[in-house]
Copies of this chain bind each other. A is one copy, B any other.
């Protein structure tokens, strides 16, 4: 298993957990919990693959993704009480997934010979779309539109990842740096309520 695959599996698992936690908070039945976990985990990657034209989409070919989602959902259900000792657990899992899927999206874009700017946007899309679907299905305002910065961190992560790719740095170290950067920024953003300045006039 390559470090890239490992990363992809971790991202899938954490997004699945974040989806499962959101579903349990809403008292969905076990099957609904599994659906929401799946949608959160593979929604962004599916959109990415569809937009680029990589069909059948990833999880249909390598079905170990589904096994991972199934196990992650089970873990989330069984250890729910333990997970919730940490406040805002879901938010942290969501942040890890945001960082990891940004990287994967950028890499897949580069493999498809797309322009670097498009690759960064693709990374942001695939990192945030699963969470947007999760929030819409839970009938909540998507995190992405919340006051604190969110998707912009994915853009920063994408730029840093692409920048480091141009250096002689090992790709695995690049993976670690970019993921940690995005998670750290997201934690800081929520902790200190970073918001984007309004640059237009309200009327």
Contact = CB atoms under 8 A, between A and B. Distances in A.
A66 B30 contact: no
A199 interface: yes
A45 B35 CA distance: 19
B30 A197 contact: yes
A172 interface: no
B81 A203 contact: yes
The number of times this chain is found in the oligomer is 3
A60 B196 contact: no
B66 A57 contact: no
A60 B52 contact: yes
A71 B56 CA distance: 33
Given A31-B152, A53-B56, A55-B51, A121 B200 contact: no
Nearest to A138: B145
A198 to B, nearest CB: 7
A84 interface: yes
Interface stretch (A3-11, A95-103, A109-117): A109-117
A192 interface: no
A132 B66 CA distance: 21
Contact of A27 (B53, B137, B197, B202): B202
Contact of A31 (B27, B122, B149): B149
Contacts of A32: 144-145
Interface in A128-155: 137, 139, 141-142, 144-145, 147, 149, 151-152
Interface of A: 24, 27-33, 35, 46, 50-53, 55-57, 60-61, 63, 66, 77-78, 80-81, 84, 112, 114-115, 117-118, 121-122, 137, 139, 141-142, 144-145, 147, 149, 151-152, 195-203
22 contacts: A29-B147, A29-B195, A30-B197, A31-B151, A35-B144, A46-B51, A51-B56, A51-B57, A51-B60, A52-B55, A52-B56, A53-B56, A56-B112, A56-B114, A60-B122, A63-B117, A66-B117, A66-B121, A77-B200, A78-B200, A81-B201, A139-B141
